[in-house]
Amino acid sequence: MGVFASTDDPGSTGHEQVVFCQDKQSGLKAIIGIYSTALGPALGGTRFYPYASEEEALADVLDLSRGMAYKNALAGLDLGGGKAVIWGDPERIKSEALLRAYGRFVESLAGRYYTACDVGTYVADMDVIARETRYVTGRSVEHGGAGDSSILTAWGVFQGMRAAAEHVWGAPTLSGRRVGVAGLGKVGKYLTAHLLEDGAEVVATDVNPKALEWVRATHPQVELVADTATLVASDIDVYAPCALGGALNDDTVPVLRAKVVAGAANNQLAHPGIEKVLADRGILYTPDYVVNAGGVIQVADEIEGFNFERAKLRATRIYDTTREILRLADDDGVPPAVAADRLAERRMAEVGRLRTIHLR
């Protein structure tokens, strides 16, 4: 895949900048993709992953950086979309020198790109990168960072779910609804607590015995089922995928009994077209990148100097954004995923245009 070829995608404005970075001594091979800075500096994490080829690494960074532009736009942030990949096995090649070399390349972009954690990178790595660049967020609490982003991610998912409940059943509450949570990890645990507090019945599953032990001890009223296949086929009103990507696929969607899907997992739609199958079955899918934006809202807030209450308020607005997307989807007769993309593109165009007004 060529970098310019990626811009032929209909509806895509194309990537602004793609930077290849190499430091042979430390083994660093990184690609930074900046999709758009229409709303501000591009923000998105660094994925450290042993891709099979350079083409695969490039395809991933192009795809992920575009996704971040849409996610940040809908989260109401004054930030554009970018992402970076470091090509290699983090278990084998991650070192202080490699991370600092990477930090110097991030610094060289002079604030056009802010990095953060993603698969294969952690807050401790951000602290190392920060020794070479100012343009890094998602740092440890000891270094003024915000800490665990799953608290606000769960809060945002809950807000998106409330908006979907209002759309389908007329009231913004999960009270009396049966919600199936697949994955009781960092986000799933907090989400379960919000749901129970709101008066929902929760049925859940996880592959990790420790997660099951936690729920038995903390929330004994939660019903546990054997696996995700059992969960999706059971009598639930809402399905909340909070484990891995691809949760909405050709096996799960045909048997899903829920009327609403709202969960934290990234890339829930296993393939293009599956959103249409959901719509045809009368299932309301709230786009994952809209409802799980609480995490990016948190790391974005850290750039200003973290304030939990301010960040929480922003994550609460995921309720309003989801409502608007569902209304737009109805008005335009399109699935919510399409309406969300349109809303993001509108904000990037309308707010981005203001930069043409010259200021000293």
Ligand X SMILES: NC(=O)c1ccc[n+]([C@@H]2O[C@H](COP(=O)([O-])OP(=O)(O)OC[C@H]3O[C@@H](n4cnc5c(N)ncnc54)[C@H](O)[C@@H]3O)[C@@H](O)[C@H]2O)c1
The residue nearest ligand X at its CB is 185
CB of 100 to ligand X, least distance (A): 26
Length of the chain: 360
CB of 311 to ligand X, least distance (A): 12
Letters for 274-293 (x = contact with ligand X by CB under 6 A, - = none) are: ------------------x-
CA distance 328 to 159: 18
Size, binding site for ligand X by CB under 6 A? 24
CB of 214 to ligand X, least distance (A): 9
**Rounded (10°) CA dihedral 288, 289, 294, 297:** 180
37 lies in the site for ligand X, by CB under 6 A:
no
Counting Cβ atoms within 10 Å, is residue 108 exposed (0-12), middle (13-18) or buried (19+)? Answer: middle
259 is catalytic: no
72 lies in the site for ligand X, by CB under 6 A:
no
243 lies in the site for ligand X, by CB under 6 A:
yes
Instruction: Say which of 29, 71, 83, 186 is annotated catalytic.
Output: 83
User: Strand 80-87 and strand 201-205: pairing?
Assistant: unpaired
CB of 62 to ligand X, least distance (A): 19
In terms of phi and psi (left: phi > 0; alpha: psi -120 to 50; beta: otherwise), the region of 11 is left
Q: Which of residues 174-203 bind ligand X (CB under 6 A)?
A: 182-188
Distance in angstroms between the alpha carbons of the first and the last residue of the chain: 41
Task: Output 105 or 289, the one with its CB closest to ligand X.
Answer: 289
251 lies in the site for ligand X, by CB under 6 A:
no
Exactly one of 5, 207, 313, 354 binds ligand X (CB under 6 A); which one?
Answer: 207
Task: Output 3 or 270, the one with its CB closest to ligand X.
Answer: 270
CB of 254 to ligand X, least distance (A): 18
Exactly one of 6, 159, 205, 322 binds ligand X (CB under 6 A); which one?
Answer: 205
Task: Output 126 or 184, the one with its CB closest to ligand X.
Answer: 184
Exactly one of 93, 224, 244, 270 binds ligand X (CB under 6 A); which one?
Answer: 244
Residues near ligand X, by CB under 6 A: 149-150, 153, 182-188, 205-208, 211, 228, 242-244, 264-266, 292, 295
Tell me which residues are annotated as active site. 83
